[in-house]
Amino acid sequence: MNHIVNAYNRFKTPIVKGKEVYLFDKDGKKYLDFAAGISTTSLGHCHPYITDKLKEQLGSLWHCSNVFTIPEQERLAQRLTTLTCADKVFFCSSGLEATEAAIKFIRRYFYSKGQEKRNRIITIEGGFHGRSIAAISAGGNEKSREGFAPLLSGFDKVPRNDIKALEEKISNETAAVFLEPIQSEGGMYPLNVEYLQKVREITKAQEIILCFDEVQCGYGRTGSLFHYQNIEIEPDILTCAKAMGNGFPLAACLVRDYIAEAITPGTHGSTYGGNPLAMTVGNAVLDVMLKEDFFDHVKRVSQYLKEKLLNLAEEFQEVISEIRGEGLLIGIELKVPLADKIVSQSLDKGLIVTKVLNNRVVRITPPLIIEDKHVNTACGVLYDLFFKIKNT
């Protein structure tokens, strides 16, 4: 009998071990992991350096609460603010908490300026920001909202890449624009750079906040620590999670000073956010990612993967309609809704991929440490599956 709430479609295969880019099931079968726990284990499973750092910390301190100064927290915040356009960091444990923090900080900022009526947030259709009531109210996915009414008011949705619709939606109650620069759960759609540049110009001119959700697309996945650095558009708030802890629960909401000033003791908090274990892992992840050549490797191998996938798209035009995404955040859009088949048959053949967008998109989010040989293996498996679909 199953005692777990049925919130997920799970494969029956029990996974018991992970090493580098591979997972192993209880029978010892090896899987090439091109999902990485959904863009999370970016440095591979059980990375030895990170594991050693965590083991060291496990022996000295697990938890002491944010009523104390936590040296590893100060260090990680200092590093993140040096590496980004943000001035201050709020640490939490999951992407949705980073979303919550962002929404609260936006509202609190205008409240502290005596403009509490300026509390509405514009979000983009198809965006995904987590599963809390606030996050599903902000997000554009109908399925994640169904049956959870009443949702929060205060979110205005506009179509992606439609600057006119966004301009028309801005009112004297608008506080912020909150978006994923690359919509991931929504189907692997990078927003147009020209659109994002315009959004930045407009939000600046209107003195409203621009928040980027980089929970999935950030932390190295597109070849820089954050995707905004590739496109040179700086947000006022930046959320991150997933790869930040390489599988250890860790997330953050990074903000500019002028927004952080609105947050005073008692206005927000988290028991686990910023705890010594998570902070140690966060620093260790950065140690690895900031090594010379790390991001160059991501850029190079992602280019190789994209080329191979484009070749597949060329060869199987009857099956594949588009390859899209950036870096190692790639979607293969199918002409027929068979992504679930591709996912389960890949698993049989020892390759892990996932699906999004109503069974139409196969999502490829491998660890950032993959090499060409892993790309070749994965594309070989996909080739065989597309070949079979084309010929049946």
Ligand X SMILES: Cc1ncc(COP(=O)(O)O)c(C=O)c1O
Residues engaged in binding ligand X (CB under 6 A): 94-96, 99, 128-130, 180, 184-185, 213, 215-216, 241
Q: Which residues contact 301 (CB under 8 A, 6 or more apart)?
A: 328, 370, 371, 372, 375
- Helical pair 276-289 and 48-58, crossing angle rounded to 10 deg: 160
Shortest distance in whole angstroms from residue 48 CB to ligand X? 25
Residue closest to ligand X when measured from CB atoms: 95
What is the nearest approach in angstroms of ligand X to the Cβ of residue 216?
4
AA identity, residue 180: E
Calpha distance 272→255 (Å, rounded): 20
Cβ of residue 187: shortest distance to ligand X, in angstroms?
A: 12
CB 331 within 8 A of CB 364: yes
Complex with ligand X: residue 96 or 301, whichever CB lies closer: 96
Quote the CA–CA distance of 157 and 151 in Å, as a whole number: 14
Nearer to ligand X, 137 or 381 (CB): 137
What's the min distance (Å) between Cβ of 278 and ligand X? 13
Cβ-based nearer residue to ligand X, 95 or 140: 95
Q: Of 213 and 326, which has the nearer Cβ to ligand X? A: 213
- Residue whose CB is less far from ligand X, 185 or 333: 185
Q: Which is nearer to ligand X, 112 or 144 (CB)?
A: 144
* DSSP letters for 216-250: TT-TTTTSSSSHHHHHT---SEEEE-GGGGTTS--
372 Cβ partners below 8 Å, 6+ apart? 301, 304
Q: Please state the closest distance from residue 72 (CB atom) to ligand X, in A.
A: 21
The two tokens of residue 9 are 């479609």
Q: How far is the CB of 71 from ligand X (least distance, A)?
A: 25
